[in-house]
Amino acid sequence: MIISFDLDDTLIPGIKTFPTEPQTLWHKLFSREKLRSGTIRLMKALQGKGHSVYIYTTSYRSPLYIRRLFLSYGIRVNKIINKRIHDETLRERAGIISKYPPAFSIDIHIDDSPGVAMEGGRYHFKTIIIEENNTGWTDFILAHLSRQ
């Protein structure tokens, strides 16, 4: 499967807060943005099972920056979709839907936003919504995916 992750308030704390991964030296040198605790183990487990891991963000962070941020934690993300790529791909539809994973062949999208789950219901794509206080979020995702 192709599994995509939102960044802000899902994997990177912003308005929402949650524990973050221990920082490596490379990461400290590279960025002040930290990844949610459990991200490394989860992404490596998913890729180990043969899944592809994408990032799908409505931010304008460059794909190169995002690729390097994850690499600084030892994670090789398979593909990155930012707001610019979303807009270019969806064209006039980009304004009416914040995310549309099927446009990128994504099977399931993981996000913090109930609004994205509602869009999934309306436009027929699968989502997993992770709450800020879900400390067992990685097992929650793995259990959800095993039922697909």
Residue tagged 């399931």 (tokens): 108
Collapsing DSSP states into helix, strand and coil, what is residue 33?
coil
Query: What's at 55, amino acid-wise?
Result: I
Q: Would you say 9 or 119 has its CB closer to Mg ion?
A: 9
Nearer Cβ to Mg ion (10/72): 10
CB of 8 to Mg ion, least distance (A): 4
Please, what is the minimum distance in Å from the beta carbon of residue 68 to Mg ion? 21
Cβ nearer to Mg ion, comparing 27 with 36: 36
* Nearest approach, Cβ of residue 24 and Mg ion (Å): 24
Minimum CB distance to Mg ion, residue 58 (Å) = 8
Distances from the Cα of 133 to the Cαs of 9, 24, 34, in angstroms? Answer: 11, 25, 17
Q: Whole-angstrom Cα distance, residue 70 to residue 34?
A: 10
Cβ proximity to Mg ion, 117 vs 142, nearer residue: 117
Looking at residue 14, what DSSP letter applies? Answer: S
Enumerate binding residues for Mg ion (CB under 5 A): 6, 8-10, 112
Identify the CA nearest to 16 among candidates 111, 95, 89, 80: 111
